[in-house]
Structure 1
Amino acid sequence: MKLSAPIFQLKRRAKLMARNSNVPLHEALDQIAREEGFARWSLLSSQIAAGSLSKTILSRLNDGDLLLVAGRPGHGKTSLGLQLLLDAAQDERKAVLFTLELTEQQARKHFQSLDEGSHGVADNLEIVTSDEISADYIIRYLSGARPGTVAVIDYLQILDQQRSKPALSDQVVALGEFARKTGVVLGFISQIDRSFDPDSKRLPDIRDIRLPNLVDLGLFTKACFLHNGEAQLHDVV
C-alpha cells in the first residue's frame, strides 16, 4: 500500500497533532496510521521497513550466507523474512520457511498479504511447521538443494527450546557449515533484547540480539536490523 506521504512526514504530522490536540504521541501515530489504512502505527512502520529493504536484499546476499533479521515485535522482521522468500520464489529459486512460531495457515495468510499483484507466487512456497525443526532436520530437508536456494528459520531463539535438541550454538555451527558447503542461503528471524533503547540509538545492532543461550554471532555473515520504519543491512564483521 502506497502512503500519502513519506514516513518522516507522517511522523512530523503525528507530532504536530499530539502537540495541538494534547494527546500522547503514540495515539497520534496510531491515528495517522488508520488514515493510511493500517490498524496501528507499528503495522505501518513494519510494512514500510520490510518493503523498502526487500527491493534490494536478495541481490545483496551471496550463496552460502547466514543472515540475521532482527527487531522488536511489530517492527517488520517477520514480514522482511517472508518477503525475502517471495522474492526468491519470483527469481525461480527454491524457497522454504521453517517455522516453530506460525501455523501453516497463519504463514500462508501472511504470505498472501505480501504477495498482492505477484500472480500467486506465495502458493508455491514451501512451509514446514514440524516441532522437530532443528539444524539436523533442516539439513536433511534441504539435502540436494541447489546453490542459491533460500530458507528462512522462524525463529533463532527457539531452535533449541526442546531439551532433546542440540545446543543453539552447535546448531548454528552445523547450519553455517551446511550453507558454505552447499551455497544455500539461510535467514534467521531473531528477537532483540528488551534492553535496547531507541532513545539512545536509532536502530538495534548485533549487541542487542537476545541470547538466552550462548551463540557466536560472528558465525553469521550478514545482519539486518529494523525499527520504527527503518531497516539496515550490513556485513557482520
Structure 2
Amino acid sequence: MTKELPNDVTIELAVIGTVINYPSKFNDIAKYIVSDGVWYDDKCKVLWSVLAGMIQRREHIDLMTISANLDAANIAMGVDNIFVVDCTQNSGTKSTAEIYAKKIYEKYLLRLVVESAKEIEKKAMDNKVNALDVLVTAHTSIGELISLRPDSSFDINEALGDAIESIRNTDKLLVKTGFADVDKFAGGLTRGEITIVGGRPGHGKSTMLLNLLSNILSQKRKVLLFNRELTNVEVLKKLLALESGRLSYGMIRQGIYDTKQLQELDRVRDYIAKKYSTDRFRMYDKIRDFPSSATEIKKFKPDVIFDDYIQLITPTGKEDQRRLQLERIVNDYKWIAKEYNCVVILASQLNRALETRGNPRPQLSDLAESGAIEQVAENVFFVYYPYKVPATAKPENKNELVLVAAKVRYGETGSVQMAYDGDKCKMYNNEDELFTPPLTEIQQDEIPF
C-alpha cells in the first residue's frame, strides 16, 4: 500500500481561514508559501491564489467579495461558497497565523525530502553510476532543500552594518594577485566571484596561473589547483623553476644539471615543501568532471580555486550543446564561489577567429563560448605575448608580456605591461624586477609561511 505523503489539510484550512478573517496577516503567512507546492490540498491551493490576487489588487476581503472572484472552474472543483465558509469556521487566530503557516511549510519540506530520497535511491541502485556523482547529487539536493527556507525580513540597518564591516575589512573580502598594477584595476580578486584568464597556446596562460598561485600562497591562503591539461609532475617542474629564480625550466625538463644546480634543486625542493604544505595546498590531475571536483572543494574549503582549463572538464549534465555544457560548468563554479566565499580563477581557451583577425590582441568575443563565460565572470584577463605573434616576434619583445583586463566588474578595464621569463616560468611587475637578482638562499629561507 502506498503511504500518503506528509500533510495536514486541517491546518491548511485554518491558514486560509485566517487570511479571510484577518487579511492584515497575509504577508506574515505569505513568506512561508514559497511555491504552490506548499499546499497539499488542491482546493486550498486554488483559494490561496484567489486571495493573493485580491490582496495584490488591494480589494476588500470578505465572504461576498471572495464569492464574486470565484469562476466556474473554481466552483467545479469544489472551491465554492460552502468551502469558503468552512475555511472561516476552521480559522486560526492572529497569534497562530505564522505558527500554522510554518507547520504546512514544514510538511511541504518533508514531501520534498521524500521525493529527493526516491531520486537519490534510484541513482544509487544504478550499477553504472559513479558513487561520487550520487554523493554530490545528495549533497546538492539537501542544500537546495535547506535554501528553500522563507525569506528573512530585510533590515536596512543590519545591511548597512554588513557593508561598513566589509569596507573596514577589505583584506578579508579581496585577495591580492601579488602584481601591483593588476591589483590597481579593482583592488584585487573578490571572494564569491569568478576570474577568467584566457590566452592563445604558448602565450603563458598556465604560467600566469602558477604565478598567481605562488603569490596567493605567500599570503597564507588555502589554494586548490585542478590540472586538466598538464600532469602534476610537469606542474611541479614549472614550480621548481618559478620558485628558484635560478633554475632553467628547459634544463629541468631535460635533466641536465651541474653540482651547483643540484644543490639549488635540493634547496628549492625543501622551500616548496614548506610553502606548498598539504594543509594549505592541494592539486589534482586525474579529476575529469565537475561533481568530483566539487567533492574535493567541499572537503578542503580553499580560499582560492584554480582550474586549468575549463574546456577540458567532462560534462555530466543532460545538455548536448557544448555552449550549454560550458555554461552549466561556469554557473556551478559561481555557486561554489558564493557558497564557500572563495575566489575561483578559471583558465579558458580562445576561439580560432583570433588567428584570422587583423588585430592579434585578444578581446571578449575571442573567448571560446564567450557568452556563457563573460556574463558570469567578475574579471576577464587575457595573457598576450607579442613574441609569439609572427607580426611582432622580435628579439627585443622576448621579455615583454601584456595582461589585458577586458572586463572588470568592480573597476576599470585596461592593460598592464609586464615582464616575462619563459625559461624561469616567472612573471614580473616590470623589466626592472625581471633583471633584479633573485634573493639569496638565506633571505629565501627566512620567509615565513
Q: So what's the TM-score if we normalise by structure 1?
A: 0.66
Instruction: Please give the per-residue CA displacement for 1:121-152, whole angstroms capped at 9, x wherever unaligned.
Output: 6643421112x3333222221216557x1111
- Is this contact kept in 1: 2:308–2:346, CA < 8 A? yes
Q: Please give the alpha-carbon distance, in whole angstroms, between the structure 1 residues aligned to 2:204 and 2:380.
A: 14
Per the alignment, residue 11 of structure 1 pairs with none
Instruction: Please give the per-residue CA displacement for 1:89-141, whole angstroms capped at 9, x wherever unaligned.
Output: 111111121011111100111122211268436643421112x3333222221
Give the number of the structure whose alpha-carbon radius of gyration is greater: 2
- Is this contact kept in 2: 1:54–1:80, CA < 8 A? no
Per the alignment, residue 408 of structure 2 pairs with 235
Q: Please give the alpha-carbon distance, in whole angstroms, between the structure 2 residues aligned to 1:224 and 1:198.
A: 21
> Which aligned pairs between 1:21-40 and structure 2 lie closer than 5 A?
none
- Is this contact kept in 1: 2:226–2:308, CA < 8 A? yes
> Of the two structures, which has the highest relative contact order with CA contacts closer than 8 Å and spacing of 6 or more?
1
> Which aligned pairs between 1:137-216 and structure 2 lie closer than 5 A?
137-143=292-298, 149-160=303-314, 167-197=325-355, 200-201=358-359, 203-211=361-369, 215-216=372-373
- Displacement over 4 Å in runs of 4+: 144-147, 162-166
Q: Please give the alpha-carbon distance, in whole angstroms, between the structure 1 residues aligned to 2:238 and 2:318.
A: 28
Q: Identity, % of aligned pairs?
A: 22
What's the C-alpha RMSD, in Å, of the aligned pairs?
2.9
The aligned amino acid for 2:402 is E
Higher helix share: 2
Given candidates 105, 110, 116, the residue that maps to 2:238 is 110
Given candidates 283, 287, 293, the residue that maps to 1:127 is 283
Given candidates 206, 226, 229, the residue that maps to 2:383 is 226
Compared CA separation, residues 207 and 163, structure 1 to 2 (3 A): same
Q: Please give the alpha-carbon distance, in whole angstroms, between the structure 2 residues aligned to 1:107 and 1:177.
A: 28
- Is this contact kept in 2: 1:85–1:151, CA < 8 A? no
Compared CA separation, residues 165 and 93, structure 1 to 2 (3 A): farther
How many residue pairs get matched?
181
Residue segments in structure 1 that go unaligned for 5+ positions in a row: 1-52
- Is this contact kept in 2: 1:69–1:225, CA < 8 A? yes
The aligned amino acid for 2:179 is K
- Three-state SS of the structure 1 residue aligned to 2:345 is strand
Q: Please give the alpha-carbon distance, in whole angstroms, between the structure 2 residues aligned to 1:112 and 1:165.
A: 41
Task: Using the TM superposition, give the Cα deviation of residue 197 of structure 1 relative to its aligned residue in structure 2, in angstroms.
Answer: 4.9
Residue segments in structure 2 that go unaligned for 5+ positions in a row: 1-176, 246-267, 320-324, 386-400, 411-449
Compared CA separation, residues 163 and 223, structure 1 to 2 (3 A): same
Q: Please give the alpha-carbon distance, in whole angstroms, between the structure 2 residues aligned to 1:182 and 1:163.
A: 22
> Which aligned pairs between 1:72-91 and structure 2 lie closer than 5 A?
72-91=200-219
- Is this contact kept in 1: 2:374–2:380, CA < 8 A? no
Task: Using the TM superposition, give the Cα deviation of residue 54 of structure 1 relative to its aligned residue in structure 2, in angstroms.
Answer: 5.3
Task: Using the TM superposition, give the Cα deviation of residue 217 of structure 1 relative to its aligned residue in structure 2, in angstroms.
Answer: 2.4
- Is this contact kept in 2: 1:222–1:235, CA < 8 A? yes
Instruction: Please give the per-residue CA displacement for 1:32-58, whole angstroms capped at 9, x wherever unaligned.
Output: xxxxxxxxxxxxxxxxxxxxx852357
Q: Please give the alpha-carbon distance, in whole angstroms, between the structure 1 residues aligned to 2:329 and 2:357.
A: 34
Q: Please give the alpha-carbon distance, in whole angstroms, between the structure 2 residues aligned to 1:69 and 1:192.
A: 10
Compared CA separation, residues 197 and 168, structure 1 to 2 (3 A): closer
- Is this contact kept in 2: 1:69–1:224, CA < 8 A? yes
- Is this contact kept in 1: 2:288–2:312, CA < 8 A? no
- Is this contact kept in 2: 1:98–1:133, CA < 8 A? no
Task: Using the TM superposition, give the Cα deviation of residue 215 of structure 1 relative to its aligned residue in structure 2, in angstroms.
Answer: 2.8
Q: Please give the alpha-carbon distance, in whole angstroms, between the structure 1 residues aligned to 2:208 and 2:237.
A: 15
- Is this contact kept in 2: 1:151–1:187, CA < 8 A? yes
- Is this contact kept in 1: 2:226–2:307, CA < 8 A? yes
- Three-state SS of the structure 2 residue aligned to 1:152 is strand
Compared CA separation, residues 109 and 164, structure 1 to 2 (3 A): farther
